[in-house]
């Protein structure tokens, strides 16, 4: 009985050995396949990282070179270098690690695509028993470089000269331009002070035109005010004129201070009111301060003076500006076609002059009282001129003899500038006349009132421009600080510029409009770094 049991147990052990041996025939290959698959996966991942790095690096070099062939040479060399920096012969036991010449091609409207293909032979370990010592691995990486349209909006106000920042700005602007592709990217420049100037009309041949963009930048001079809302509105008009929705459309806005000028259609003063004076009249026959010498002597009446811009006076109506209707001048001292004579005490009730369109700039830094000056043409005649000439529609106006006298002729600031950028808004509550015939209207007789209105217009312009869902303009803003400034109003408003750019760190950032970038340069030694940082960000996003 016992011998039979032992025999049966021995037979069972024999069967287990046989079954185990049979199972090992299948288990060992499966284990070996899993281990080799893990090695293969690791090598494939490394290979993919290498081709992706090569493609991205190559796409970033597409800002160099005039033709696609010249750019392709740079891109191919960079792609190869980055590939081998991430994966070399022998890494993880791989051999025959190669990257054929990367392909650079036009993949769409003003888009170029780099394709990098990497390949290697991955080693096997357990599968060698079946005769497989190496397995081919292949990976493909692509990156696309979008061309860009950039309108550079460059502040060349007088404060740039006084702080010694004009030359550093020009050097930084030239370095910025050098990072983009002549013949591929499009760049234009609008310079602005009191008036704007189309310094370099946008073109893709910015380095090969005559004069080229660097020559124009070298000729920039810094003088005058800071007409920010006009400059960025003109830049937007240029972007719209290019009309390339598929391209990255950029407004690069640079400034060192607050907006101090704007272009608007200003209502002519027709009614009596009380406001600050505008400065002395140089004539020896000037009337007594704040009064009229006579109700009949028009030669003397036109010489009234209000010499202090920090003292308020009662201004009798209306402005001496002349208005032509049917060939006849209508003013308070001339006769109309019917022969009626109108005096300052009984002005012509039908006198309805058109608004005067031009630029008003405030003097100083937006103080409660001080000078306001105009009216100038919005377009400067040259790169060196601070502002355009006094507007031609100025017959009889006090500002025709001295732009300091503008508040004698202009009643108040309208609700928006000529581009539709509102002077009222959420940035600052505007100053209004508190009583009289112009109660509730925006004051035009103090720098502070215009500073608030111009800041609102600049902000509202950026919101309006970013709202173009077809062109999708993006703001990249650079502000230059002034460590020597003693007046807090003599430096740029960084909060305003942050909001204008829709920087992700803006307190009112919205993902429904294009995200831009704001960079602050504390002094002019850091201007170049600020411009390069913006260029790097543009090229990173364009890739």
Distance CA 263, CA 230 (A): 6
Distance CA 310, CA 368 (A): 9
- Closest among 493, 543, 496 to 52, alpha carbons compared: 543
Distance CA 472, CA 466 (A): 6
**Look-up: residue for tokens 């070399």?**
88
Q: What number is the average pLDDT over the span 378-393?
A: 94
Q: Do residues 102 and 54 lie in contact, with contact meaning Cβ atoms separated by under 8 Å?
A: yes
Domains of the chain: 24-142 (no CATH), 148-257+467-542 (3.40.50.410), 260-456 (no CATH)
The upper half-sphere exposure of residue 2, i.e. CA atoms within 13 Å in the direction of its Cβ, equals: 0
Neighbours of 466 (CB within 10 A): 24
Helices 447-466/228-242 angle, 10° precision: 20
pLDDT at position 280 is 58
Higher per-residue confidence, 4 vs 535: 535
Q: What is the pLDDT of residues 348-379, one digit of tens each?
A: 666 778 899 999 999 888 899 999 999 999 99
478 DSSP β-pair partners: 254, 519
- pLDDT class of 325 with cuts at 50, 70, 90: very low
361 DSSP β-pair partners: 261, 373
Q: What number is the average pLDDT over the span 103-118?
A: 80
pLDDT at position 19 is 56
- Tell me: pLDDT of 171 over 50: yes
Which tokens hold the place of 84?
């081998």
Query: How does 251-272 read in b/e, with b if 16+ C-beta sit within 10 Å?
Result: bbbbbbbbbbbbbbebbbbbee
- pLDDT class of 489 with cuts at 50, 70, 90: confident
Q: What number is the average pLDDT over the span 68-88?
A: 85
Higher per-residue confidence, 313 vs 289: 313
- Closest among 215, 109, 231, 204 to 149, alpha carbons compared: 204
Neighbours of 237 (CB within 10 A): 13
Query: Distances in Å between the alpha carbon of 359 and those of 390, 454, 461?
Result: 9, 11, 17
Higher per-residue confidence, 235 vs 101: 235
- Closest among 157, 144, 273 to 540, alpha carbons compared: 144
pLDDT at position 441 is 97
SS3 478: strand
Higher per-residue confidence, 450 vs 325: 450
- pLDDT class of 327 with cuts at 50, 70, 90: very low
Distance CA 465, CA 382 (A): 27
Helices 2-60/68-86 angle, 10° precision: 150
pLDDT at position 416 is 97
pLDDT at position 30 is 61
Query: How does 83-94 read in b/e, with b if 16+ C-beta sit within 10 Å?
Result: bbebbeeeeeeb
Neighbours of 302 (CB within 10 A): 18
pLDDT at position 71 is 74
- pLDDT class of 20 with cuts at 50, 70, 90: low
Distance CA 463, CA 531 (A): 23
Q: What is the pLDDT of residues 441-468, one digit of tens each?
A: 999 999 999 999 999 999 999 999 999 9
Contacts of 315 (CB under 8 A, 6+ apart): 269, 272, 273, 274, 275, 306, 408
Contacts of 321 (CB under 8 A, 6+ apart): 268, 331, 353, 356, 394, 395, 396, 397, 409
The upper half-sphere exposure of residue 293, i.e. CA atoms within 13 Å in the direction of its Cβ, equals: 13
Q: What is the pLDDT of residues 276-306, one digit of tens each?
A: 988 655 443 344 344 443 444 444 444 556 7
pLDDT at position 110 is 65
Contacts of 418 (CB under 8 A, 6+ apart): 263, 264, 265, 357, 378
pLDDT at position 194 is 97
Q: Do residues 388 and 379 lie in contact, with contact meaning Cβ atoms separated by under 8 Å?
A: yes
SS3 373: strand
**Look-up: residue for tokens 């928006």?**
416
Distance CA 492, CA 166 (A): 16
Contacts of 297 (CB under 8 A, 6+ apart): none
Q: What number is the average pLDDT over the span 379-408?
A: 90
SS3 209: coil
Distance CA 222, CA 241 (A): 28
pLDDT at position 12 is 55
Q: What percent of the chain has pLDDT over 90?
A: 51
What's the distance, CA 312 to chain centroid? 40
Q: What is the pLDDT of residues 255-277, one digit of tens each?
A: 999 999 999 999 999 888 899 98
pLDDT at position 290 is 42
Mean pLDDT score across all residues of the chain: 83
Q: Do residues 407 and 441 lie in contact, with contact meaning Cβ atoms separated by under 8 Å?
A: no
pLDDT at position 336 is 42
DSSP 415: S
pLDDT at position 31 is 62
pLDDT at position 32 is 60
Which tokens hold the place of 63?
């800002």
CA-based torsion, 488, 369, 499, 374: positive or negative? negative
Higher per-residue confidence, 437 vs 323: 437
- Tell me: pLDDT of 330 over 50: no
Helices 494-501/447-466 angle, 10° precision: 20
Q: What is the pLDDT of residues 184-236, one digit of tens each?
A: 899 999 999 999 999 999 999 999 999 999 999 999 999 999 999 999 999 99
pLDDT at position 100 is 85
The region of weakest confidence among 30-44, 411-425, 498-512 is: 30-44
pLDDT at position 287 is 41
């Amino acid at each position: 009985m016992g011998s039979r049991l032992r025999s049966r147990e021995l037979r069972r052990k024999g069967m287990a050995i046989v079954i185990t041996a049979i199972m090992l025939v299948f288990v060992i290959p499966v284990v070996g396949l899993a281990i080799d698959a893990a090695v293969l996966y690791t090598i494939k991942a490394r290979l993919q990282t290498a081709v992706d790095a090569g493609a991205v690096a190559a796409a970033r070099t597409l800002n160099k070179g005039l033709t696609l062939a010249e750019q392709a040479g740079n891109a191919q060399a960079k792609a190869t270098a980055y590939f081998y920096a991430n994966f070399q012969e022998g890494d993880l036991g791989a051999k025959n690690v190669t990257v054929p010449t990367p392909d650079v091609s036009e993949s769409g409207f003003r888009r170029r695509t780099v394709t990098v293909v990497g390949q290697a032979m991955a080693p096997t370990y357990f599968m060698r028993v079946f005769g497989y010592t190496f397995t081919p691995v292949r990976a493909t990486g692509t990156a696309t470089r979008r061309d860009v349209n950039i309108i550079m909006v460059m502040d060349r106000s007088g404060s740039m000269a006084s702080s010694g920042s004009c030359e550093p700005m020009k050097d930084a602007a030239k370095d910025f331009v050098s990072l983009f592709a002549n013949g591929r990217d499009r760049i234009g420049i609008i310079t602005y002070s009191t008036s704007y100037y189309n310094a370099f009309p946008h073109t893709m041949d910015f380095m090969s035109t005559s004069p080229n963009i660097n020559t124009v930048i070298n000729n920039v001079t810094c003088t005058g005010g800071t007409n920010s809302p006009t400059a960025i509105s003109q830049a937007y008009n240029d972007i719209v004129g290019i009309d390339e929705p598929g391209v990255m459309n950029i407004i690069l806005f640079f400034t060192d201070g607050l907006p101090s000028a704007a272009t608007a259609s200003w209502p002519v003063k027709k009614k009596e009111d009380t406001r600050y004076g505008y400065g002395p009249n140089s004539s020896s026959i000037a009337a007594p301060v704040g009064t009229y010498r006579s109700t009949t002597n028009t030669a003397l009446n036109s010489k009234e003076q209000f010499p202090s811009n920090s003292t308020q006076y009662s201004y009798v109506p209306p402005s001496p500006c002349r208005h032509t209707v049917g060939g006849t001048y209508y003013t308070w001292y001339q006769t109309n076609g019917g022969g009626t004579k109108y005096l300052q005490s009984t002005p012509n009730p039908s006198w309805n002059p058109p608004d005067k369109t031009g630029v008003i700039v405030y003097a100083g830094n937006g103080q409660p009282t001080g000078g306001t000056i105009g009216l100038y043409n919005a377009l400067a005649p040259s790169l060196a001129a601070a502002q355009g000439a006094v507007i031609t529609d100025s017959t009889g106006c006090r500002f025709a003899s001295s732009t300091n006298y503008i508040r004698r002729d202009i009643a108040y600031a309208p609700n928006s500038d000529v581009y539709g950028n509102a002077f009222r808004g959420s940035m600052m509550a505007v100053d209004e006349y508190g009583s009289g015939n112009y109660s509730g209207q925006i004051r035009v007789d103090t720098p502070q009132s215009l500073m608030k209105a111009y800041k609102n217009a600049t902000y509202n312009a950026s919101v309006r421009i970013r709202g173009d869902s077809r062109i999708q303009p993006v703001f990249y803003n650079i502000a230059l600080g002034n460590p020597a400034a003693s007046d807090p109003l003599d430096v740029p408003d960084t909060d305003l510029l942050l909001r204008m750019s829709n920087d992700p760190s803006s307190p009112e950032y919205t993902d429904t409009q294009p995200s831009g970038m704001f960079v602050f340069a504390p002094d002019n030694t850091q201007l170049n770094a600020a411009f390069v940082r913006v260029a790097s960000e543009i090229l990173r996003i364009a890739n």
